[in-house]
Amino acid sequence: MFSTICPTASNVLTKKYRISLKIELIEDAIMIYLRSPNGTTLSCHTANVKELEYNRMPVHSVKFHGKSVNTVFEHSLKCGSMTTFWSDPVDGVEVLINHFLNLLPQLLLSIDCASKTHLSTVIKLLEARKPNLEKVQIECNPIDKEFYKQILDVCGSATHLHLLVETLNDSTQLNLEKLLSTRHLHISHGSWVTVESLDMLLGCSKLTIHRTALTSQNLNNFLKNWKEQSNLESVHIASTEINVEEVIDGIDAIPAGSAKKRGRMMTYGYTIQQMNGTKADIVLSNNGFLELKVQEV
């Protein structure tokens, strides 16, 4: 796996495997994890150069994004680690992110940020790579609407986008037109999502939104619009308590099986059909859960 730090080996590696890259930014340090489908893992993190005096491992000079950096390697059969030493570990954050994004641009990228400063750094680095982003997951502490807008602007071209991000204020004015090329979208905190927002996402193929404030009427409108025309094949929406009868009103839903009860929750199954003949199974629960899955032909 250490061959991935060498650009000459990266072309072979990316053709053979779909590599996932996870970046964790905590305070002034960075942890980067590269993981291949066969389970091999490489971790890389930053440390202050003063810590070298306590090191007992061999030190190597390795180039990252054009900079020679003192690096210590440890490895076993299935995993390995690199510790990179910097006079200012903050500088190492940007250098290492740039290095691995340049080396492996077509990957599943997961970013876990602890602060706005880190998020700003990541957004700046990703902006130049917008056309090449494929699978991106961003997780961070609650942010304001302006930061959320920047994330959508930069990552909207990704085919798979997971936003595990909570907004601090009203975000109903977010422009989701940036997500028109996104096929799989996952939003963990969707309190800002409106029925108008959902209409913009009908071109996706898979949609998951949690913690919304959508009403029974909103979900009814969404299903009616799906019936008219939509590429959505899989939908999971979690909202507050809903009235199931109001959700299915006027959409010609055919009951599929009997209602099921679990505690205070009741679930109901139906089949609905688009204008073009495409059928989908939907499951509704009175606690605000909607699931839609297109039937296989």
Q: What is the mean pLDDT of residues 145-152?
A: 84
pLDDT value for 172 = 54
pLDDT value for 184 = 94
pLDDT value for 107 = 61
Q: Is residue 280 part of a domain?
A: no
Q: Is residue 149 part of a domain?
A: no
Q: Is residue 89 part of a domain?
A: yes
Of the two residues 90 and 269, the one the predictor is more confident about is 269
Q: Judge contact between 188 and 215, C-beta under 8 A.
A: no
Q: Is residue 133 part of a domain?
A: no
pLDDT value for 77 = 61
Residue 258: pLDDT band with limits 50, 70, 90: confident
Residue 235: pLDDT band with limits 50, 70, 90: very high
Q: Is residue 254 part of a domain?
A: no
Res 154 pLDDT > 80: yes
Q: Is residue 281 part of a domain?
A: no
Q: What is the mean pLDDT of residues 115-119?
A: 70
Of the two residues 214 and 80, the one the predictor is more confident about is 214
pLDDT value for 21 = 74
pLDDT value for 1 = 40
pLDDT value for 110 = 80
Res 7 pLDDT > 60: no
User: Helix crossing, 116-127 with 145-155: angle to 10°?
Assistant: 30
Q: What is the mean pLDDT of residues 41-46?
A: 83
Q: Is residue 150 part of a domain?
A: no
Choose from 102-116, 133-147, 182-196 the range with maximum mean pLDDT. 182-196
Res 14 pLDDT > 70: no
Of the two residues 284 and 39, the one the predictor is more confident about is 284
pLDDT value for 10 = 39
What is the spatial distance between Cα 222 and Cα 204, in angstroms, rounded to a whole number?
14
Res 13 pLDDT > 50: no
Q: Is residue 81 part of a domain?
A: yes
Residue range of the domain that includes 73:
1-97
Residue 259: pLDDT band with limits 50, 70, 90: confident
Number of domains observed in the structure of the chain? 1
